[in-house]
Structure 1
Amino acid sequence: MKKVLLLLADGFEVFEASVFIDVMGWNLEEGDQSTQLFTCALQKEIKSSFNQRFIVDYEVGEIDVRDFDALTIPGGFEVYGFYKDAYHEKFLELIRSFRAHNKIIATICVGALPLGKSGVLQGKTATVYNSAVRREALRSFGVQVLDQPIVLDDNMITSWNPSTAIDVALLLLELLTSSENAGKVRGLMGF
C-alpha cells in the first residue's frame, strides 16, 4: 500500500487539498487499490482559508517519514494565516525529512513556498502561484522559477494555481503507480 501524507497549514485551500483526497480515494476504490491518504498538521484541529474547521489524523511530531511514500501540500491564503504554519520550523523540518528520504513531494500553488523556505528547492526548477510577488518569493529561496503550469524536478512537483490541482494529483498518482492506472482513474473521474 502506498501511503500519502497531506500536510495542512492553517489557512489551507480546501479545493487544493480535496483533489489529493479524491484522487487517492478513487484509486483506493476504483483504481489499482494501492493508495491511502492521511492528514497532518501542526495541531490536531485547524481551519481552512475560509474558516472551516478540520480535525487531522496526525500532528507533525507523530510522523515517521519512513511510513509514507509521498508528501502533498496544498496552498492557502495569507490573510487566513497560511504562512504562519507553512513557515514554522516543524513544518519545514518535515519537508526536509521527506526530501532526505527521497520521497515524492507534490504541491499546488503557494504550497511551493514552504518547499523553497525549507531549502529543498534550492538550485532546482519550480513554479508557484502566477503573481509577481509569489514568484519573487520563490526566487529568493534560490529557485529557478519557470513560467509554466506544472514543474516536476527531482521528485518534486510544483504548480501555479488551483486550475492545476487535479493534474498535480493525477501526476502524483502516476508516479506512485503507473500512467495506465492514473489514466484509468482520470477517466473514471471524468477528467
Structure 2
Amino acid sequence: MAVSIGILIFPDVQQLDVTGPFEVFASWPEAKVLLIWKTLDPVASTTGLRLQPTSTFETCGQIDVLCVPGGRGMNPLLVDEQVLDFLRRQAVGARYVTSVCTGALVLGAAGLLKGKRATTHWAFHDLLAAFGAVPEEGRIVRDGALMTGGGVTAGIDFALALVAELAGRAGAEEIQLALEYAPAPPFQAGSPRTAPEPVLAAVLERMAPLRAERRKLVEIAVKRLASG
C-alpha cells in the first residue's frame, strides 16, 4: 500500500520548501504525494511559481506523513483556525508530522510542538520557544514522530532522511544519487555563522519587517492556544 505524503501549500509559500521535498518523495515508488490546500485553485509561491493543489482538506483523507512548508505566506496561517484545525486532526492519525523552514511555526500555532525539540529557519529560530518547543539547531531535528527541517534547502535533507526511515537507507541513497544531490556551494554564506558580516547585516535588515509581523502573529497565536 502506498504511503500518503501530504504537503500543505498556500499563497506565498516558499516554492523550494515544497518542490525540494516533493522531488525526493515523488522519486520513491511507494509514495503517493498530495499537494493540499483549502481549494483546488492554483496558488502562487513567493517567487511567482504557480502550484496546483491536488487535494483539499475535505478530500485528502487521513495521510501518513504531514508536511508543512514555510515562506512569507505562512504568516496568516498562524491565526487561520481552518488550517490549524486541519493540522491538529491530521496529526492524530499521521505516522509523521513534519515541517520545512518556518512551517514549524505553523505546527507550533496548532499546538503540536509543546515539549518537542524542533528547528526552523535561522532568522526565526528564537520564535519556537513561544510555542513551548525546545529549539535545537540543525538541518534536521527529530523528536519521536515529529521531524522538522531547517531553512529552505534543508527540506531536501529532511526528505531524504524521512525516506530512509520509511524505505531504508539504500532506497534513500538511490534517490540522492539519481538526483545528483551533492551540495558544493560556490560561497560559504549559507549560515549566519559563516556569512560575511555585511551580508548577514543586509539580510537581517531586509527581513526585519517580516520578522516584526511574524512576531506579532506568534504572540496572538500563543494567546489563542492558552485560551483554548
TM range (shorter): 0.7 to 0.9
Give runs of aligned pairs for residues 58-137 of structure 1, distance below 5 A. 58-65=55-62, 68-77=63-72, 81-85=73-77, 87-131=79-123, 134-137=124-127
CA shift for structure 1 position 102: 4.1
Q: Deviations over 1:76-115 (max 9, x none)?
A: 11xxx33213541121122212321142122111010111
Aligned residue for 1:62, secondary structure, equals coil
SS of corresponding position for 2:153: helix
Question: Relative CO higher for 1 or 2, CA cutoff 8 Å, sep ≥ 6?
Answer: 1
CA RMSD in angstroms comes to 1.6
Percent identical among aligned pairs is 22
| Structure-2 residue corresponding to 1:56 | 53
Closer, same or farther: CA 21–99 of 1 in aligned 2, 3 Å: same
Larger radius of gyration: 2
* Aligned amino acid, residue 125 of structure 1: R
Equivalent of 2:39 in 43, 46, 52: 43
What's the secondary structure of 1:61's corresponding residue? coil
Unaligned runs of 5+ residues in structure 2 are 182-228
* Aligned twin of 1:30: none
The 8 Å contact of residues 13 and 44 in structure 2, kept in 1 or not, is answered as yes
Contact 2:119 2:125 in 1 (8 A): yes
Q: Are 1:12 and 1:82, in contact at CA under 8 Å, matched by a contact in 2?
A: yes
Separation in structure 1 between the aligned mates of residue 49 and residue 142 of structure 2, nearest angstrom? 31
C-alpha displacement of 1:176: 2.2
Matched residue of 1:140: which SS? helix
